[in-house]
Structure 1
Amino acid sequence: MKTNVVEKNKSADLNHNKDTVYSQEIFAKIMNGKYKGRLIHLENTYSYSGAYDQKYTVGTDLFVSLEKNSQHALNGTIEGVKRDKQVTAVAGLFILILLAIGRKQGFYSIISLFINIVLLIGALNVYLALGNVSLLAVCIVAVVLFTVISLLLVSGNKEKTHVAIISTLIGTFVSLLIAYGVMQLTDSNGLHYEGMEFVTIPPQKIFMSEVLIGSLGAVMDVAITITSSVYELYEKNKEIAHKDLLKSGKEIGGDIMGAMTNILFFSYISGTIPMVLLYLKNGSPLGYTFSMNFSLEVIRALTGSIGIVLTIPITLYLSILFIFRKGNRK
Protein backbone atom coordinates (compact mmCIF):
# COMPACT_ATOMS: atom_id res chain seq x y z
CA MET A 1 0.00 0.00 0.00
CA LYS A 2 1.17 3.52 -0.78
CA THR A 3 -0.10 6.74 0.81
CA ASN A 4 0.36 10.43 -0.01
CA VAL A 5 -0.92 13.60 1.63
CA VAL A 6 -2.31 15.71 -1.20
CA GLU A 7 -3.83 18.61 0.74
CA LYS A 8 -3.47 20.27 4.14
CA ASN A 9 -5.80 22.89 5.67
CA LYS A 10 -5.30 24.63 9.00
CA SER A 11 -8.21 25.93 11.06
CA ALA A 12 -8.90 27.64 14.40
CA ASP A 13 -12.09 28.25 16.38
CA LEU A 14 -13.23 31.19 18.51
CA ASN A 15 -11.29 29.87 21.50
CA HIS A 16 -8.07 29.69 19.45
CA ASN A 17 -8.07 25.89 19.37
CA LYS A 18 -6.08 24.93 16.30
CA ASP A 19 -6.38 21.84 14.14
CA THR A 20 -5.16 20.68 10.75
CA VAL A 21 -7.18 18.63 8.26
CA TYR A 22 -5.33 16.45 5.77
CA SER A 23 -6.51 14.83 2.54
CA GLN A 24 -4.80 11.51 1.96
CA GLU A 25 -4.51 9.53 -1.25
CA ILE A 26 -4.13 5.77 -0.83
CA PHE A 27 -3.17 3.10 -3.35
CA ALA A 28 -4.09 -0.28 -1.89
CA LYS A 29 -4.23 -3.93 -2.84
CA ILE A 30 -7.38 -5.98 -2.32
CA MET A 31 -6.49 -8.99 -0.16
CA ASN A 32 -9.59 -11.17 -0.51
CA GLY A 33 -12.95 -11.49 -2.19
CA LYS A 34 -13.96 -11.36 -5.83
CA TYR A 35 -11.39 -8.72 -6.76
CA LYS A 36 -8.48 -10.19 -4.81
CA GLY A 37 -5.10 -8.97 -6.04
CA ARG A 38 -6.39 -5.87 -7.81
CA LEU A 39 -5.10 -2.40 -6.98
CA ILE A 40 -7.55 0.27 -5.91
CA HIS A 41 -7.41 4.02 -5.34
CA LEU A 42 -8.87 5.29 -2.04
CA GLU A 43 -9.24 8.70 -0.43
CA ASN A 44 -9.15 9.55 3.25
CA THR A 45 -9.62 12.79 5.17
CA TYR A 46 -8.21 12.98 8.68
CA SER A 47 -7.41 15.63 11.25
CA TYR A 48 -4.42 16.16 13.51
CA SER A 49 -6.68 15.74 16.56
CA GLY A 50 -8.00 12.44 15.19
CA ALA A 51 -11.22 12.43 17.21
CA TYR A 52 -13.43 10.94 14.50
CA ASP A 53 -10.86 9.90 11.92
CA GLN A 54 -7.32 8.66 11.60
CA LYS A 55 -4.28 8.60 9.36
CA TYR A 56 -3.59 5.36 7.51
CA THR A 57 -0.03 4.19 6.94
CA VAL A 58 1.64 1.54 4.81
CA GLY A 59 0.88 -1.89 6.25
CA THR A 60 -2.52 -0.97 7.73
CA ASP A 61 -5.30 -3.43 6.89
CA LEU A 62 -8.60 -1.78 6.01
CA PHE A 63 -12.19 -2.83 5.54
CA VAL A 64 -13.33 -1.43 2.19
CA SER A 65 -16.71 -1.50 0.46
CA LEU A 66 -16.35 -1.88 -3.31
CA GLU A 67 -18.55 -0.79 -6.19
CA LYS A 68 -18.22 -0.08 -9.89
CA ASN A 69 -19.04 3.32 -11.36
CA SER A 70 -20.74 4.02 -14.68
CA GLN A 71 -17.44 3.48 -16.52
CA HIS A 72 -17.09 0.06 -14.81
CA ALA A 73 -14.07 1.30 -12.87
CA LEU A 74 -13.66 -0.13 -9.38
CA ASN A 75 -14.22 2.38 -6.56
CA GLY A 76 -13.80 1.82 -2.86
CA THR A 77 -14.90 3.45 0.38
CA ILE A 78 -12.98 2.92 3.62
CA GLU A 79 -15.23 1.47 6.33
CA GLY A 80 -12.66 1.08 9.09
CA VAL A 81 -9.44 -0.55 10.25
CA LYS A 82 -9.09 -4.32 10.41
CA ARG A 83 -7.73 -4.96 13.91
CA ASP A 84 -8.55 -8.61 14.49
CA LYS A 85 -4.87 -9.64 14.40
CA GLN A 86 -3.88 -7.15 17.08
CA VAL A 87 -6.91 -7.93 19.24
CA THR A 88 -6.25 -11.66 18.94
CA ALA A 89 -2.58 -11.17 19.84
CA VAL A 90 -3.38 -9.11 22.94
CA ALA A 91 -6.14 -11.51 24.02
CA GLY A 92 -3.81 -14.46 23.48
CA LEU A 93 -1.06 -12.80 25.52
CA PHE A 94 -3.54 -12.10 28.33
CA ILE A 95 -4.69 -15.73 28.36
CA LEU A 96 -1.12 -17.07 28.29
CA ILE A 97 -0.05 -14.86 31.21
CA LEU A 98 -3.15 -15.80 33.18
CA LEU A 99 -2.55 -19.51 32.59
CA ALA A 100 1.19 -19.27 33.29
CA ILE A 101 0.71 -17.50 36.61
CA GLY A 102 -2.68 -18.78 37.73
CA ARG A 103 -2.55 -22.26 36.16
CA LYS A 104 -5.77 -24.03 37.16
CA GLN A 105 -7.24 -20.95 38.82
CA GLY A 106 -6.23 -18.88 35.81
CA PHE A 107 -8.12 -21.27 33.56
CA TYR A 108 -11.21 -21.00 35.72
CA SER A 109 -10.82 -17.21 35.74
CA ILE A 110 -10.99 -17.18 31.95
CA ILE A 111 -14.13 -19.33 32.02
CA SER A 112 -15.62 -17.07 34.68
CA LEU A 113 -14.88 -13.97 32.61
CA PHE A 114 -16.49 -15.50 29.54
CA ILE A 115 -19.58 -16.56 31.50
CA ASN A 116 -19.92 -13.10 33.05
CA ILE A 117 -19.75 -11.44 29.63
CA VAL A 118 -22.47 -13.78 28.36
CA LEU A 119 -24.55 -13.11 31.48
CA LEU A 120 -24.26 -9.35 31.09
CA ILE A 121 -25.26 -9.46 27.44
CA GLY A 122 -28.09 -11.83 28.31
CA ALA A 123 -29.33 -9.59 31.13
CA LEU A 124 -29.45 -6.56 28.86
CA ASN A 125 -31.24 -8.55 26.15
CA VAL A 126 -33.79 -9.77 28.70
CA TYR A 127 -34.42 -6.20 29.81
CA LEU A 128 -34.85 -4.98 26.23
CA ALA A 129 -37.06 -7.93 25.29
CA LEU A 130 -39.41 -7.68 28.26
CA GLY A 131 -39.57 -3.89 28.37
CA ASN A 132 -41.69 -3.61 31.52
CA VAL A 133 -39.03 -5.03 33.85
CA SER A 134 -36.90 -2.71 35.99
CA LEU A 135 -33.31 -2.40 34.77
CA LEU A 136 -32.12 -2.29 38.37
CA ALA A 137 -33.97 -5.54 39.17
CA VAL A 138 -32.34 -7.25 36.19
CA CYS A 139 -28.92 -5.99 37.30
CA ILE A 140 -29.50 -7.21 40.86
CA VAL A 141 -30.17 -10.73 39.58
CA ALA A 142 -27.13 -10.47 37.31
CA VAL A 143 -24.92 -9.30 40.20
CA VAL A 144 -25.93 -12.29 42.32
CA LEU A 145 -25.12 -14.64 39.43
CA PHE A 146 -21.82 -12.84 38.70
CA THR A 147 -20.75 -13.20 42.31
CA VAL A 148 -21.74 -16.82 42.82
CA ILE A 149 -20.36 -18.09 39.51
CA SER A 150 -17.12 -16.10 39.64
CA LEU A 151 -16.16 -17.00 43.19
CA LEU A 152 -17.18 -20.65 42.94
CA LEU A 153 -15.21 -21.11 39.72
CA VAL A 154 -12.09 -19.28 40.87
CA SER A 155 -11.96 -20.32 44.54
CA GLY A 156 -13.87 -23.60 44.48
CA ASN A 157 -16.83 -24.84 46.48
CA LYS A 158 -15.28 -24.20 49.88
CA GLU A 159 -16.39 -22.62 53.12
CA LYS A 160 -14.24 -19.54 52.55
CA THR A 161 -15.87 -19.10 49.14
CA HIS A 162 -19.32 -19.16 50.71
CA VAL A 163 -18.19 -16.52 53.21
CA ALA A 164 -16.81 -14.37 50.38
CA ILE A 165 -20.07 -14.67 48.42
CA ILE A 166 -22.18 -13.63 51.40
CA SER A 167 -19.84 -10.75 52.26
CA THR A 168 -19.72 -9.52 48.67
CA LEU A 169 -23.49 -9.44 48.31
CA ILE A 170 -24.02 -7.76 51.68
CA GLY A 171 -21.33 -5.13 51.05
CA THR A 172 -22.53 -4.40 47.51
CA PHE A 173 -26.22 -4.07 48.34
CA VAL A 174 -25.68 -2.09 51.54
CA SER A 175 -23.49 0.43 49.70
CA LEU A 176 -26.15 0.68 46.98
CA LEU A 177 -28.85 1.32 49.58
CA ILE A 178 -26.74 4.04 51.19
CA ALA A 179 -26.15 5.72 47.82
CA TYR A 180 -29.85 5.47 46.96
CA GLY A 181 -30.86 6.90 50.34
CA VAL A 182 -28.50 9.86 50.03
CA MET A 183 -29.70 10.59 46.49
CA GLN A 184 -33.32 10.51 47.65
CA LEU A 185 -32.64 12.79 50.60
CA THR A 186 -30.77 15.32 48.45
CA ASP A 187 -33.11 14.93 45.47
CA SER A 188 -30.00 14.21 43.35
CA ASN A 189 -28.92 17.84 43.58
CA GLY A 190 -25.60 18.46 41.85
CA LEU A 191 -25.77 15.35 39.68
CA HIS A 192 -25.73 15.86 35.93
CA TYR A 193 -27.23 13.18 33.70
CA GLU A 194 -26.67 14.96 30.38
CA GLY A 195 -24.60 12.05 29.09
CA MET A 196 -27.72 9.86 29.24
CA GLU A 197 -30.10 12.31 27.57
CA PHE A 198 -30.65 10.19 24.46
CA VAL A 199 -31.67 7.08 26.40
CA THR A 200 -35.45 6.91 26.80
CA ILE A 201 -35.18 5.58 30.36
CA PRO A 202 -35.08 7.63 33.58
CA PRO A 203 -31.35 8.31 34.04
CA GLN A 204 -31.49 7.65 37.79
CA LYS A 205 -32.33 3.99 37.13
CA ILE A 206 -29.47 3.63 34.69
CA PHE A 207 -27.08 5.33 37.08
CA MET A 208 -28.04 3.11 40.02
CA SER A 209 -27.52 0.04 37.84
CA GLU A 210 -24.09 1.37 36.86
CA VAL A 211 -23.22 1.97 40.51
CA LEU A 212 -24.32 -1.55 41.45
CA ILE A 213 -22.25 -3.32 38.81
CA GLY A 214 -19.33 -0.92 39.17
CA SER A 215 -19.06 -1.50 42.92
CA LEU A 216 -19.25 -5.27 42.62
CA GLY A 217 -15.74 -5.83 41.26
CA ALA A 218 -13.93 -3.94 44.01
CA VAL A 219 -16.12 -5.36 46.77
CA MET A 220 -15.65 -8.91 45.48
CA ASP A 221 -11.89 -8.41 45.34
CA VAL A 222 -11.77 -7.20 48.94
CA ALA A 223 -14.06 -9.97 50.17
CA ILE A 224 -12.05 -12.82 48.67
CA THR A 225 -8.75 -11.23 49.77
CA ILE A 226 -9.83 -10.90 53.40
CA THR A 227 -11.45 -14.34 53.46
CA SER A 228 -8.45 -16.10 51.92
CA SER A 229 -6.04 -14.30 54.25
CA VAL A 230 -7.99 -15.12 57.41
CA TYR A 231 -8.47 -18.76 56.45
CA GLU A 232 -4.81 -19.08 55.49
CA LEU A 233 -3.74 -17.69 58.86
CA TYR A 234 -5.99 -20.21 60.58
CA GLU A 235 -4.73 -23.11 58.45
CA LYS A 236 -1.13 -22.23 59.29
CA ASN A 237 -1.86 -22.06 63.01
CA LYS A 238 -5.07 -23.70 64.14
CA GLU A 239 -4.31 -22.78 67.74
CA ILE A 240 -4.40 -19.06 66.96
CA ALA A 241 -6.52 -17.09 69.39
CA HIS A 242 -9.71 -15.38 68.32
CA LYS A 243 -8.39 -11.91 69.16
CA ASP A 244 -5.10 -12.51 67.33
CA LEU A 245 -6.90 -13.63 64.18
CA LEU A 246 -9.16 -10.60 64.42
CA LYS A 247 -6.20 -8.27 64.88
CA SER A 248 -4.35 -9.74 61.89
CA GLY A 249 -7.48 -9.47 59.76
CA LYS A 250 -7.92 -5.81 60.68
CA GLU A 251 -4.32 -5.06 59.72
CA ILE A 252 -4.78 -6.77 56.35
CA GLY A 253 -8.02 -4.88 55.79
CA GLY A 254 -6.41 -1.59 56.68
CA ASP A 255 -3.58 -2.20 54.22
CA ILE A 256 -5.84 -2.92 51.25
CA MET A 257 -8.52 -0.34 52.07
CA GLY A 258 -6.57 2.71 50.93
CA ALA A 259 -5.18 1.05 47.83
CA MET A 260 -8.55 -0.25 46.63
CA THR A 261 -10.25 3.09 47.28
CA ASN A 262 -7.63 4.90 45.21
CA ILE A 263 -7.92 2.32 42.45
CA LEU A 264 -11.66 2.94 42.24
CA PHE A 265 -11.25 6.70 42.26
CA PHE A 266 -8.64 6.79 39.50
CA SER A 267 -10.49 4.19 37.41
CA TYR A 268 -13.65 6.26 37.34
CA ILE A 269 -12.05 9.70 37.05
CA SER A 270 -9.66 8.72 34.25
CA GLY A 271 -12.55 8.15 31.87
CA THR A 272 -13.63 11.79 32.12
CA ILE A 273 -10.27 13.34 31.16
CA PRO A 274 -11.11 13.77 27.42
CA MET A 275 -14.38 15.56 28.19
CA VAL A 276 -12.74 17.72 30.85
CA LEU A 277 -10.10 18.84 28.35
CA LEU A 278 -12.79 19.52 25.77
CA TYR A 279 -14.73 21.73 28.19
CA LEU A 280 -11.62 23.61 29.33
CA LYS A 281 -10.28 24.16 25.81
CA ASN A 282 -13.63 25.68 24.86
CA GLY A 283 -13.54 28.23 27.65
CA SER A 284 -15.77 26.59 30.26
CA PRO A 285 -15.10 27.64 33.89
CA LEU A 286 -13.24 25.10 36.01
CA GLY A 287 -16.09 24.66 38.51
CA TYR A 288 -18.67 24.13 35.78
CA THR A 289 -16.40 21.69 33.98
CA PHE A 290 -15.82 19.59 37.08
CA SER A 291 -19.49 19.57 38.10
CA MET A 292 -20.61 18.49 34.64
CA ASN A 293 -18.05 15.72 34.25
CA PHE A 294 -17.08 14.55 37.72
CA SER A 295 -20.39 14.50 39.60
CA LEU A 296 -21.48 11.01 38.55
CA GLU A 297 -17.96 9.60 38.64
CA VAL A 298 -17.39 10.84 42.19
CA ILE A 299 -20.64 9.22 43.33
CA ARG A 300 -19.61 5.95 41.67
CA ALA A 301 -16.21 6.09 43.35
CA LEU A 302 -17.67 7.02 46.74
CA THR A 303 -20.27 4.26 46.59
CA GLY A 304 -17.64 1.70 45.68
CA SER A 305 -15.39 2.99 48.46
CA ILE A 306 -18.22 2.69 50.98
CA GLY A 307 -18.74 -0.86 49.79
CA ILE A 308 -15.04 -1.61 50.30
CA VAL A 309 -14.96 -0.12 53.79
CA LEU A 310 -18.11 -1.98 54.84
CA THR A 311 -17.03 -5.27 53.29
CA ILE A 312 -13.79 -5.47 55.26
CA PRO A 313 -15.37 -5.82 58.75
CA ILE A 314 -18.31 -7.82 57.38
CA THR A 315 -15.98 -10.34 55.74
CA LEU A 316 -13.62 -10.42 58.70
CA TYR A 317 -16.28 -11.14 61.30
CA LEU A 318 -18.11 -13.62 59.08
CA SER A 319 -14.87 -15.50 58.42
CA ILE A 320 -14.04 -15.70 62.12
CA LEU A 321 -17.62 -16.69 62.91
CA PHE A 322 -17.47 -19.60 60.47
CA ILE A 323 -13.99 -20.65 61.63
CA PHE A 324 -14.80 -20.64 65.33
CA ARG A 325 -18.35 -21.87 65.12
CA LYS A 326 -19.18 -24.99 67.08
CA GLY A 327 -17.45 -28.09 65.80
CA ASN A 328 -15.26 -26.36 63.22
CA ARG A 329 -12.17 -25.88 65.32
CA LYS A 330 -10.17 -28.95 66.15
Structure 2
Amino acid sequence: MMIGILALILFGLMMMIGGDRGAVSVMSLAGNLLVLSLAIILMAGGHAPLIITGIAAGLISYITLVKQNGKNQKTEIAFGATGIVILLLLAAIFLLLWDARSGGLNEIQAIQEDVMYYYNTNLHINMLQITVCMVLLSTLGAVLDTALSITSSLYEVILHKPDMSRREIYHSGLQIGKDIIGTTVNTLFFAYLGDSLLLFFYLKNVKYTAEVILNSKMLFQGVSAMLFSAIACLLTVPVASAGCMLFLKKEEKKEEK
Protein backbone atom coordinates (compact mmCIF):
# COMPACT_ATOMS: atom_id res chain seq x y z
CA MET A 1 0.00 0.00 0.00
CA MET A 2 2.73 2.45 1.00
CA ILE A 3 4.72 1.62 -2.13
CA GLY A 4 1.71 2.52 -4.25
CA ILE A 5 1.28 5.82 -2.41
CA LEU A 6 4.95 6.70 -2.86
CA ALA A 7 4.77 5.77 -6.55
CA LEU A 8 1.72 8.01 -7.01
CA ILE A 9 3.51 10.90 -5.26
CA LEU A 10 6.53 10.40 -7.53
CA PHE A 11 4.49 10.29 -10.72
CA GLY A 12 2.39 13.24 -9.60
CA LEU A 13 5.47 15.37 -8.93
CA MET A 14 7.02 14.33 -12.25
CA MET A 15 3.86 15.39 -14.09
CA MET A 16 3.44 18.61 -12.12
CA ILE A 17 7.04 19.80 -12.25
CA GLY A 18 8.15 18.24 -15.51
CA GLY A 19 5.00 18.86 -17.52
CA ASP A 20 5.08 17.11 -20.90
CA ARG A 21 8.67 15.98 -20.32
CA GLY A 22 7.59 14.56 -16.99
CA ALA A 23 4.87 12.51 -18.69
CA VAL A 24 7.43 11.22 -21.19
CA SER A 25 9.75 10.33 -18.29
CA VAL A 26 6.97 8.35 -16.61
CA MET A 27 6.32 6.40 -19.81
CA SER A 28 10.05 5.80 -20.28
CA LEU A 29 10.33 4.52 -16.72
CA ALA A 30 7.41 2.16 -17.30
CA GLY A 31 9.02 0.92 -20.51
CA ASN A 32 12.34 0.28 -18.77
CA LEU A 33 10.60 -1.63 -15.97
CA LEU A 34 8.82 -3.76 -18.55
CA VAL A 35 12.09 -4.54 -20.38
CA LEU A 36 13.87 -5.38 -17.13
CA SER A 37 11.00 -7.61 -15.98
CA LEU A 38 11.02 -9.53 -19.27
CA ALA A 39 14.79 -9.93 -19.03
CA ILE A 40 14.51 -11.38 -15.51
CA ILE A 41 11.79 -13.81 -16.60
CA LEU A 42 13.83 -14.99 -19.58
CA MET A 43 17.03 -15.41 -17.53
CA ALA A 44 15.13 -17.29 -14.82
CA GLY A 45 13.80 -19.55 -17.57
CA GLY A 46 17.33 -20.65 -18.42
CA HIS A 47 18.05 -18.48 -21.47
CA ALA A 48 21.54 -17.03 -22.05
CA PRO A 49 21.94 -14.27 -19.43
CA LEU A 50 24.63 -12.27 -21.24
CA ILE A 51 22.74 -12.15 -24.53
CA ILE A 52 19.49 -11.17 -22.81
CA THR A 53 21.28 -8.52 -20.75
CA GLY A 54 22.90 -7.10 -23.90
CA ILE A 55 19.53 -6.82 -25.63
CA ALA A 56 17.89 -5.38 -22.50
CA ALA A 57 20.71 -2.84 -22.07
CA GLY A 58 20.28 -1.73 -25.68
CA LEU A 59 16.53 -1.33 -25.29
CA ILE A 60 16.85 0.50 -21.97
CA SER A 61 19.44 2.84 -23.47
CA TYR A 62 17.22 3.49 -26.49
CA ILE A 63 14.16 4.21 -24.33
CA THR A 64 16.08 6.40 -21.88
CA LEU A 65 17.98 8.41 -24.48
CA VAL A 66 16.01 8.45 -27.72
CA LYS A 67 12.39 7.97 -26.65
CA GLN A 68 12.71 10.21 -23.62
CA ASN A 69 14.89 12.95 -25.11
CA GLY A 70 14.15 12.66 -28.83
CA LYS A 71 16.20 11.40 -31.75
CA ASN A 72 19.00 13.87 -32.40
CA GLN A 73 22.77 14.02 -32.52
CA LYS A 74 23.08 14.43 -28.76
CA THR A 75 21.20 11.24 -27.97
CA GLU A 76 22.74 9.26 -30.83
CA ILE A 77 26.28 10.09 -29.72
CA ALA A 78 25.38 9.34 -26.09
CA PHE A 79 23.90 6.00 -27.19
CA GLY A 80 27.07 5.11 -29.09
CA ALA A 81 29.33 6.19 -26.22
CA THR A 82 27.32 4.07 -23.78
CA GLY A 83 27.66 1.00 -26.00
CA ILE A 84 31.41 1.46 -26.40
CA VAL A 85 32.02 1.87 -22.66
CA ILE A 86 29.89 -1.16 -21.74
CA LEU A 87 31.72 -3.32 -24.30
CA LEU A 88 35.09 -2.11 -23.03
CA LEU A 89 34.16 -3.05 -19.47
CA LEU A 90 32.51 -6.38 -20.25
CA ALA A 91 35.72 -8.41 -20.50
CA ALA A 92 37.23 -6.74 -17.42
CA ILE A 93 34.10 -7.38 -15.36
CA PHE A 94 33.88 -11.02 -16.44
CA LEU A 95 37.57 -11.74 -15.79
CA LEU A 96 37.62 -10.05 -12.39
CA LEU A 97 34.45 -11.71 -11.15
CA TRP A 98 35.63 -15.07 -12.49
CA ASP A 99 38.98 -14.75 -10.71
CA ALA A 100 37.28 -13.69 -7.47
CA ARG A 101 34.64 -16.47 -7.71
CA SER A 102 32.06 -13.94 -6.60
CA GLY A 103 28.98 -15.41 -8.28
CA GLY A 104 26.00 -16.67 -6.34
CA LEU A 105 24.84 -15.95 -2.79
CA ASN A 106 27.23 -14.21 -0.45
CA GLU A 107 27.97 -15.33 3.09
CA ILE A 108 25.13 -13.37 4.70
CA GLN A 109 22.53 -14.46 2.15
CA ALA A 110 23.60 -18.11 2.35
CA ILE A 111 23.13 -18.40 6.12
CA GLN A 112 19.68 -16.82 6.23
CA GLU A 113 17.15 -19.26 7.60
CA ASP A 114 14.55 -18.80 4.87
CA VAL A 115 17.16 -19.46 2.19
CA MET A 116 18.59 -22.54 3.87
CA TYR A 117 15.32 -24.24 4.80
CA TYR A 118 12.55 -22.95 2.54
CA TYR A 119 14.09 -22.23 -0.86
CA ASN A 120 15.83 -24.40 -3.41
CA THR A 121 19.16 -22.76 -4.24
CA ASN A 122 19.88 -25.14 -7.14
CA LEU A 123 18.47 -22.89 -9.87
CA HIS A 124 20.42 -24.37 -12.81
CA ILE A 125 21.61 -20.89 -13.71
CA ASN A 126 25.20 -19.77 -14.29
CA MET A 127 25.65 -17.59 -11.22
CA LEU A 128 28.84 -16.00 -12.55
CA GLN A 129 27.02 -14.74 -15.65
CA ILE A 130 24.14 -13.48 -13.51
CA THR A 131 26.61 -11.52 -11.37
CA VAL A 132 28.20 -10.04 -14.51
CA CYS A 133 24.73 -9.05 -15.74
CA MET A 134 23.95 -7.46 -12.38
CA VAL A 135 27.11 -5.34 -12.49
CA LEU A 136 26.46 -4.32 -16.12
CA LEU A 137 22.90 -3.23 -15.42
CA SER A 138 23.89 -1.34 -12.28
CA THR A 139 26.60 0.41 -14.32
CA LEU A 140 24.28 1.29 -17.20
CA GLY A 141 22.28 4.02 -15.46
CA ALA A 142 25.34 6.00 -14.40
CA VAL A 143 26.88 5.71 -17.87
CA LEU A 144 23.71 6.93 -19.58
CA ASP A 145 23.49 9.92 -17.29
CA THR A 146 27.15 10.88 -17.79
CA ALA A 147 27.07 10.39 -21.58
CA LEU A 148 23.97 12.56 -22.06
CA SER A 149 25.35 15.25 -19.74
CA ILE A 150 28.52 15.49 -21.84
CA THR A 151 26.82 15.45 -25.24
CA SER A 152 24.08 17.93 -24.24
CA SER A 153 26.59 20.35 -22.75
CA LEU A 154 28.91 20.17 -25.75
CA TYR A 155 26.00 20.59 -28.13
CA GLU A 156 25.13 23.89 -26.47
CA VAL A 157 28.78 24.96 -26.46
CA ILE A 158 29.15 24.29 -30.20
CA LEU A 159 25.78 25.90 -30.94
CA HIS A 160 26.90 29.18 -29.37
CA LYS A 161 30.51 28.97 -30.53
CA PRO A 162 30.56 27.16 -33.89
CA ASP A 163 34.11 28.25 -34.75
CA MET A 164 35.65 25.97 -32.11
CA SER A 165 38.32 23.56 -33.32
CA ARG A 166 38.02 19.83 -32.78
CA ARG A 167 40.72 19.98 -30.14
CA GLU A 168 38.84 22.70 -28.26
CA ILE A 169 35.63 20.69 -28.41
CA TYR A 170 37.33 17.63 -26.97
CA HIS A 171 39.03 19.54 -24.16
CA SER A 172 35.74 21.31 -23.38
CA GLY A 173 34.14 17.88 -22.97
CA LEU A 174 36.92 16.81 -20.59
CA GLN A 175 36.46 19.99 -18.59
CA ILE A 176 32.72 19.41 -18.33
CA GLY A 177 33.46 15.84 -17.25
CA LYS A 178 35.73 17.08 -14.47
CA ASP A 179 32.88 19.21 -13.15
CA ILE A 180 30.30 16.40 -13.06
CA ILE A 181 32.35 13.29 -12.32
CA GLY A 182 32.98 14.16 -8.68
CA THR A 183 29.30 14.39 -7.82
CA THR A 184 28.55 11.27 -9.88
CA VAL A 185 31.12 9.17 -8.03
CA ASN A 186 29.89 10.51 -4.69
CA THR A 187 26.31 9.62 -5.67
CA LEU A 188 27.37 6.04 -6.44
CA PHE A 189 29.31 5.76 -3.18
CA PHE A 190 26.52 7.04 -0.96
CA ALA A 191 23.93 4.94 -2.80
CA TYR A 192 25.93 1.81 -1.93
CA LEU A 193 26.68 2.98 1.62
CA GLY A 194 23.05 3.86 2.30
CA ASP A 195 21.81 0.56 0.89
CA SER A 196 24.28 -1.42 3.04
CA LEU A 197 24.13 0.61 6.25
CA LEU A 198 21.89 -1.83 8.14
CA LEU A 199 24.08 -4.72 7.02
CA PHE A 200 27.16 -3.00 8.40
CA PHE A 201 25.37 -2.57 11.76
CA TYR A 202 24.65 -6.31 11.73
CA LEU A 203 28.28 -7.17 10.99
CA LYS A 204 29.43 -4.92 13.82
CA ASN A 205 27.04 -6.53 16.32
CA VAL A 206 28.02 -10.11 15.47
CA LYS A 207 31.69 -9.20 16.00
CA TYR A 208 33.08 -10.10 12.58
CA THR A 209 36.73 -9.10 12.33
CA ALA A 210 37.90 -6.53 9.81
CA GLU A 211 39.88 -9.25 8.03
CA VAL A 212 36.80 -11.41 7.54
CA ILE A 213 34.73 -8.48 6.25
CA LEU A 214 37.41 -7.25 3.86
CA ASN A 215 37.81 -10.75 2.38
CA SER A 216 34.09 -11.50 2.19
CA LYS A 217 32.17 -12.08 -1.01
CA MET A 218 29.44 -9.80 0.35
CA LEU A 219 31.72 -6.75 0.46
CA PHE A 220 33.35 -7.58 -2.88
CA GLN A 221 30.03 -7.88 -4.72
CA GLY A 222 28.79 -4.48 -3.55
CA VAL A 223 32.04 -2.55 -3.80
CA SER A 224 33.01 -4.03 -7.19
CA ALA A 225 29.67 -2.94 -8.68
CA MET A 226 30.17 0.57 -7.29
CA LEU A 227 33.77 0.80 -8.51
CA PHE A 228 32.92 -0.50 -11.99
CA SER A 229 30.16 2.10 -12.21
CA ALA A 230 32.62 4.84 -11.26
CA ILE A 231 35.21 3.57 -13.75
CA ALA A 232 32.55 3.41 -16.47
CA CYS A 233 31.56 7.03 -15.80
CA LEU A 234 35.20 8.13 -16.02
CA LEU A 235 35.64 6.30 -19.34
CA THR A 236 32.42 7.80 -20.67
CA VAL A 237 33.78 11.35 -20.44
CA PRO A 238 36.56 10.98 -23.07
CA VAL A 239 34.50 8.62 -25.24
CA ALA A 240 31.49 10.95 -25.38
CA SER A 241 33.76 13.97 -25.86
CA ALA A 242 35.50 12.26 -28.78
CA GLY A 243 32.13 11.42 -30.32
CA CYS A 244 31.04 15.05 -30.11
CA MET A 245 34.37 16.17 -31.51
CA LEU A 246 33.95 13.94 -34.56
CA PHE A 247 30.23 14.13 -35.29
CA LEU A 248 28.86 17.36 -33.85
CA LYS A 249 31.58 19.40 -35.54
CA LYS A 250 31.04 17.55 -38.81
CA GLU A 251 27.34 18.42 -38.74
CA GLU A 252 28.14 22.05 -38.00
CA LYS A 253 30.30 22.19 -41.12
CA LYS A 254 27.50 20.71 -43.21
CA GLU A 255 25.08 23.37 -41.98
CA GLU A 256 27.56 26.14 -42.87
CA LYS A 257 27.77 24.87 -46.44
Do both proteins adopt the same fold according to a TM-score greater than 0.5, normalized to the shorter chain? yes
**Partner deviation per Cα, 1:88-133 (whole Å, 9 max, x = no partner):** 432232123222332222211110100111111111222334x2x2
Q: What are the Cα deviations for residues 133-160 of structure 1, in whole angstroms up to 9, with x where unaligned?
A: 2212211110011001221122101111
- 1:290-317 per-residue CA deviation (whole Å, 9 max, x = no partner) reads 4333211111011111111111100011
TM-score normalized with structure 1 length: 0.67
Give the drift of 1:259. Answer: 1.5
Which residue does 1:181 correspond to in 2? 95
Whether 2:70 is the aligned partner of 1:146: answer no
Tell me which residue corresponds to 1:172.
86
Distance 2:235 2:182 in 1: 13
The answer on whether the counterparts of 1:123 and 1:139 sit within 8 Å (CA) in structure 2 is: yes
* Aligned counterparts of 1:173 and 1:144: Cα–Cα separation in 2: 12
2:151 alignment counterpart: 227
Q: Which amino acid aligns with 1:268?
A: Y
SS at match of 2:57: helix
Aligned-partner residue type, residue 281 of structure 1: N
Q: Give the TM-score taking structure 2 as reference length.
A: 0.85
CA distance in 2, matches of 1:94, 1:263: 20
The residue aligned with 1:93 is: 9
SS of the equivalent of 2:52 reads: helix
**How big is the shift at 1:172?**
1.9
Kindly name which structure, 1 or 2, has the bigger radius of gyration based on alpha carbons: 1
Identify which of 214, 218, 222 aligns with 1:297.
222
In the alignment, what sits opposite 2:117? none
Query: Equivalents in 1 of 2:28, 2:150: separation in Å?
Result: 21
How big is the shift at 1:199?
5.5
Q: Provide the rounded CA distance (Å) in 2 between the counterparts of 1:290 and 1:206.
A: 23
Structure having greater relative contact order (Cα 8 Å, sep ≥ 6): 2
Secondary structure of 2:100 counterpart: coil
Aligned to 1:259: 183
Provide the residue aligned with 2:141 in structure 1.
217
Q: Shift of residue 191 of structure 1?
A: 7.9
Which position in structure 1 is the counterpart of 2:208? 284
* Counterpart position of 1:124: 40
Structure in which a larger fraction of residues adopt strand: 1
Identity across the alignment (%): 25
Structure 1, unpaired ranges of 5+? 1-82
The alignment covers a number of residue pairs equal to 242
Distance 1:164 1:251 in 2: 17
Q: Distance in 2 between matches of 1:283 and 1:169?
A: 43
CA RMSD after TM alignment: 2.2
Instruction: Give the whole-Å Cα distance in 1 for the aligned partners of 2:19 and 2:152.
Output: 18
Deviation at 1:193, TM superposition (A): 4.2
Q: Which has the higher helix share?
A: 2
Residue 308 to residue 190, structure 1, CA distance change in 2 (3 Å): same
